[in-house]
């Protein structure tokens, strides 16, 4: 079973950033309003995610670490997925590839903790915590030297973690995020911070855009809010003059999940075709919302692709929505 877990783990956890993604998504699913991530050595020696969400009851801790145990779906409709997690694979996978410790407290109960190492679970122990959950993952891939070799420099892995956190932070502007590097001990160095935004969704998103992409972009971005046959597109897109030499400032989401989908990136490019040369990329944060039955997000756990039932419609929505906004802005 430990071997099976380790094989499955490779699917979910390719590098420190994929572990961070799973843990932060769990915190979001738990309704956290504040999420703190601490890393050391690019996440290779330590990833610690602290949240103020609903917590896990002591009696449920062993279950949370069991394969295919999820509290988020009853199995009746795999397509009807509203939360990030739905496979019950992340925690057992992390317990198979690193030294995992979870400390958690549900309001009104005592705090408890559990550890897993090499797929072996410790008994649940009493712990001290005022609320929420702390998940600590140490020495990722220590038992899998072949995978260790594929990890990049601390700097590159830290950057990938920052990128994952920024994408999730863009999708959840009402949640506060902090990323610290504690490689040198102590409180560490804050490398990203976005306090919880307030106001309506557009206000909040605008604040997040300013924080993540930059105030100049936010102040000159076009507001997008359009619908077409059950697909809704909202967010902000740059005026052509605020384009970039790379696509890193393109944030795309489908039903709240960050995606890096070729179809959607291509549609974004097509919308700006008349205004940008091939080496320029428009900055944008765009959210597609639709009935979960119109899109399959269950393509691969670690990748962020989606499959629309009607790809042409998704493309058309983006191209026409953005062209319309650009035309209104005088382009």
Q: How far apart are CA 198 and CA 175, in angstroms?
A: 10
Among 16, 85, 119, 176, binds Mg ion (CB under 5 A): 85
Q: Which is nearer to Mg ion, 164 or 264 (by Cβ)?
A: 164
Among 16, 42, 43, 53, binds ligand ADP (CB under 6 A): 53
Residue 133 found at the interface with ligand ADP (CB under 6 A): yes
Q: Which is nearer to ligand ADP, 85 or 321 (by Cβ)?
A: 85
Residue 175 found at the interface with ligand ADP (CB under 6 A): no
State the nearest-atom distance from the C-beta of 26 to ligand ADP, in Å: 3
List the one residue out of 242, 245, 283, 240 whose CA is nearest residue 265.
283
**How does 194-228 read in b/e, with b if 16+ C-beta sit within 10 Å?**
beebeeeeeebbbbbbbbbbeeebbeebbebeeee
The one segment of 49-57, 217-225, 233-241, 309-317 that binds ligand ADP by CB under 6 A:
49-57
Q: Which is nearer to ligand ADP, 116 or 151 (by Cβ)?
A: 116
Residue 26 found at the interface with ligand ADP (CB under 6 A): yes
Q: What is the C-alpha end-to-end distance of the chain, expressed in Å? A: 60
Q: E strands of 52-175, at which residues?
A: 99-105, 112-117, 120-121, 125-126, 132-138
Q: Which is nearer to ligand ADP, 129 or 204 (by Cβ)?
A: 129
Residue 147 found at the interface with ligand ADP (CB under 6 A): no
The one segment of 8-16, 80-88, 160-168, 196-204 that binds Mg ion by CB under 5 A:
80-88
**How does 116-132 read in b/e, with b if 16+ C-beta sit within 10 Å?**
bbebebeebeebebeeb
Among 38, 90, 194, 254, binds ligand ADP (CB under 6 A): 90
Q: At what angle do helices 90-97 and 16-29 cross, to 10 degrees?
A: 140
Q: Which is nearer to ligand ADP, 179 or 224 (by Cβ)?
A: 179
β-pair type (189-194, 176-181): antiparallel
Angle at 158 (CA atoms; ends 157, 163), nearest 5 degrees: 95
Q: Which helix (H) or strand (E) holds 169?
A: helix 154-171
- CA 197 vs CA 18, 27, 173, 176, 189: distances in Å: 25, 18, 6, 8, 22
Residue 297 found at the interface with Mg ion (CB under 5 A): no
Residue 72 found at the interface with ligand ADP (CB under 6 A): yes
- Count CA within 13 A, CB hemisphere, residue 63: 9
Residue 95 found at the interface with ligand ADP (CB under 6 A): no
Residue 133 found at the interface with Mg ion (CB under 5 A): no
Residue 64 found at the interface with ligand ADP (CB under 6 A): yes
Residue 38 found at the interface with ligand ADP (CB under 6 A): no
Residue 26 found at the interface with Mg ion (CB under 5 A): yes
Which residues of this protein are in contact with Mg ion, per CB under 5 A? 26, 85, 90
Which residues of this protein are in contact with ligand ADP, per CB under 6 A? 22, 26-27, 30, 51, 53-56, 64, 70-72, 85-91, 133
């Amino acid at each position: 079973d430990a071997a099976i877990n380790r094989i499955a783990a490779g699917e979910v956890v390719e590098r420190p950033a994929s572990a961070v993604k799973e843990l932060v998504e769990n915190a979001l699913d738990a309704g956290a309003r504040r999420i703190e991530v601490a890393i050391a050595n690019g996440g290779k020696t330590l990833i610690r995610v602290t949240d103020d969400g609903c917590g896990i009851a002591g009696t449920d801790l062993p279950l949370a670490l069991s394969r295919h145990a999820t509290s988020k779906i009853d199995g009746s409709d795999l397509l009807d997925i509203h939360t990030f997690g739905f496979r019950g694979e992340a925690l057992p996978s992390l317990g198979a590839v690193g030294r995992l410790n979870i400390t958690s407290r549900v309001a009104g109960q005592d705090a408890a903790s559990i550890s897993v190492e090499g797929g072996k679970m410790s008994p649940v122990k009493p712990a001290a915590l005022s609320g929420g959950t702390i998940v600590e993952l140490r020495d990722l891939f220590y038992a899998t030297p072949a995978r260790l070799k594929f990890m990049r420099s601390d700097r590159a892995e830290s950057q990938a973690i920052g990128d994952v956190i920024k994408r999730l932070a863009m999708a959840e502007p009402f949640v506060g995020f902090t990323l610290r590097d504690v490689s040198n001990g102590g409180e560490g160095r804050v490398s990203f911070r976005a306090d919880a935004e307030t106001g309506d969704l557009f206000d909040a998103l605008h604040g997040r855009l300013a924080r993540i992409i930059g105030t100049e972009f936010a102040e000159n971005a076009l507001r997008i809010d359009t619908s077409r046959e059950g697909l809704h597109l909202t967010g902000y897109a740059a005026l052509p003059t605020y384009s970039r030499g790379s696509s890193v400032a393109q944030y795309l989401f489908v039903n709240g999940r960050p995606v890096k989908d070729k179809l959607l990136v291509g549609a974004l490019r097509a919308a700006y075709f008349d205004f940008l040369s091939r080496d320029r990329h428009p900055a944008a944060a765009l959210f597609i919302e639709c009935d979960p039955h119109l899109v399959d997000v269950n393509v691969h756990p670690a990748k962020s692709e989606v499959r629309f039932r009607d790809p042409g419609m998704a493309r058309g929505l983006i191209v026409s929505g953005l062209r319309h906004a650009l035309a209104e802005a005088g382009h």
